[in-house]
A and B are shown apart, each in its own frame.
Chain A
Amino acid sequence: MVKIVKMALLSRFVRRFRRDIKSNFLLFKTVANSEYRCLSSLSRPEKLVSEETKEQETNGGHKAVVPLECRFVYPEFLPDPRVGRRNSLRERLERMDMLNRRSNIDVPEFYTGSILAVSSANQHAPEKLSRFVGICIQRGGCGLRAFFILRNVIDHQGVEMFYEMYSPLIQKIEVLRLEKRLDSELLYLRDALPEYCTFPLDMEPEHLSQGSTVPVNPIKVKLKPRPWLERWERQELKGVQDLGLPERFYKRAAEVARPWEKYDLMKEYRESIPAEEQESIFAEVYTQLQQLEITKKMKRKRTFVRPKRTG
């Protein structure tokens, strides 16, 4: 009798566990390696606000509630999940330095697929300043080593620039178009037709309404004929049109595929930071980041636009 009850409880627990895991996997269905860090290993995400954060007193006695979106807006604050690379003191110092840098220059929220314009100090240029406009094809790195790569096609020549986000040489980062794409890395744009990467260098910033979610651009890019830089048919790319390859490519891709990896819990655990730790990290920095956001909004409202003389 006791055994039956125990079995029933166990099976219910297993079912609930599996349901929660399944819901997590549905939420992050196709996940490239870079997104793993933001995944939560916690099975019930609504319990993210722990007891300690509820008791924290900030200005006006507000509860310091750290929203879940922090991990996507500021992904470089999460450290490298590899065990050999973890060093809590170094991480805390890096976070201090990152906040310091953010108080000097506005590092906006952007995702791969957003169009940015970066002005950087360039000792080789006569004006000592150079500006580059491009679409962000890759974003990565942790802490002060966070980087992003911008791509643009200028005068029918594809150019890419690698930027370190916290480099003191960067003077200004503007987001001209804030949007996401269907994939987390757009390296296939190197093999795509040039029209998908061409952005005018004097592009005007496009503003989104306050409080709206970041739009997802469902565009399907057409690739140039083979040879390509990578075997795109072997990667589950959402943002490309039908590749139009002979059957043998897809057959070989199916043979080489590792479909069990998405069920590998330990792999996910190793490549992500546990939710409790993410929470504590963002609880440390969230108040300051909020302050920076508020000052940025106030600055935007206060900037005086000098009226231009017409006629």
Chain B
Amino acid sequence: MGWPLIMWRKFPKLRSVGQTFHTSPACSHVIKLTRLRVVDNSEIGKQAMAEGKPPKCIHVYNKKEVGTIGDKVLLAIKGEKKKGILVGVKQNQRALIPKFDSNNVVLIDDNGTPLGTRIHVPIPQILRTILKKKNVVKGADYTKLLALATRFV
């Protein structure tokens, strides 16, 4: 919204037109209110995805508040607040980093232990390095998440 406020007051009808078209290309960012796909077999995740009410991101634990692979996010699932780790994003990545068709998230608790027991979707290899660094920096233990993955891409 690059228009100064005075323009909306002078030309109120233009506001509705501006809401019908996009002035920037789609960037597929994971930000607040982004709907994510839970890819582990935790009970709450499976129920939410089966119902057709995927969890919404309500906070990204990042300076920029834009999530990429390996970022911790706070989700709203079935009326509860749960934390998750992004394991695959739709955003275009650098060379040799895979890009997925959906924004995938694995639910974790505050210590970093995942709530599910298996991840049936491929996980990027770069997550190994990212989570190892986070183990050291944040003091949480994300190695269990990597142990759940069945396939690395």
Contacts and interface: CB of A to CB of B under 8 A. Distances in A.
B121 interface: yes
B1 to A, nearest CB: 24
A40 to B, nearest CB: 32
A122 interface: yes
Contacts of B96: 120, 122, 161-163, 167, 169
A124 B99 contact: no
Contacts of A45: none
B126 A159 contact: no
A154 B16 CA distance: 42
Given A124-B126, A125-B125, A125-B152, A157 B100 contact: yes
Contacts of B94: 162
Nearest to A158: B101
A124 B95 contact: no
B35 interface: no
A155 B120 CA distance: 7
Contacts of A126: 128
A123 B96 CA distance: 11
B129 A123 contact: yes
B47 interface: no
Given A123-B129, A160-B98, A162-B99, A155 B92 contact: no
Contact of B95 (A123, A125, A155, A167): A167
A32 B104 CA distance: 33
Given A124-B129, A132-B153, A157 B95 contact: no
A190 interface: yes
Q: Which of B88, B96, B127, B129 gathers most chain A CB within 10 Å?
A: B96
A80 interface: no
The binding surface of chain A is classed by DSSP as strand
Contacts of B95: 147, 162-164, 167
B100 to A, nearest CB: 6
Nearest to A121: B96
B117 interface: no
Q: Which of B94, B99, B120 gathers most chain A CB within 10 Å?
A: B99
Contacts of A169: 96
B99 A160 contact: yes
Nearest to B124: A124
A188 to B, nearest CB: 14
A252 B141 CA distance: 54
Contacts of B39: 157
Interface in A161-211: 161-164, 167, 169, 190
Nearest to A152: B153
A190 B90 CA distance: 12
B100 A158 contact: yes
A53 interface: no
B153 A154 contact: yes
27 contacts: A122-B96, A122-B125, A124-B125, A124-B127, A125-B152, A126-B128, A132-B98, A147-B95, A154-B151, A155-B121, A155-B150, A155-B151, A157-B39, A157-B102, A157-B121, A157-B122, A158-B101, A159-B98, A159-B100, A159-B101, A159-B153, A160-B98, A160-B99, A160-B100, A161-B99, A163-B95, A167-B96
Given A124-B126, A162-B97, A163-B96, 19 more contacts: A124-B128, A125-B152, A130-B153, A154-B151, A155-B151, A156-B121, A157-B102, A157-B122, A158-B102, A159-B100, A159-B122, A160-B98, A160-B101, A161-B97, A161-B98, A162-B96, A162-B99, A167-B95, A169-B96
